[in-house]
Amino acid sequence: MNKKQDVFQLIENIRERPGMYIGECSIIRLRAFVYGYAYAIYEIGLGMDIFQLLKDFNDYIQKSYHIESTEGWDKILLSKCNNDEEKAFKLFGKKWDDFLAKHK
């Protein structure tokens, strides 16, 4: 399994058991955890493909809401959910599934 596939599994694991990985259903914590994982992969020399995947997801979120923003996907989704972390976490799951269906 390549590192890009690993991040797909990691995100799925977090979605199923957020408390085990990030403490609670939090879009901000999810983003921090996933970017931390991506950075660790980069630091040990296994590439940048996860960062590109996350950039593509950010672009997808912006396009899906017809906006251009310097905010990351987490902040965009959080704003769409009136700053409700749990709702934004659930919205992330739906958007992530849609993104993967179109980009795999």
Domain span at residue 78 reads: 3-103
Question: Which pLDDT score, from 0 to 100, does residue 1 have?
Answer: 46
How many structural domains comprise the chain?
Answer: 1
* pTM for the structure as a whole: 0.88
- 21-70 pLDDT, tens per residue? 999 999 999 999 999 998 998 888 877 788 889 999 999 999 999 999 89
Owner of token pair 């390549």: 2
Cα angle 54-56-61, degrees, rounded to a multiple of 5: 95
**Which of 92, 66, 96, 71 lies closest to 81, judged by CA?**
92
Question: Which pLDDT score, from 0 to 100, does residue 15 have?
Answer: 95
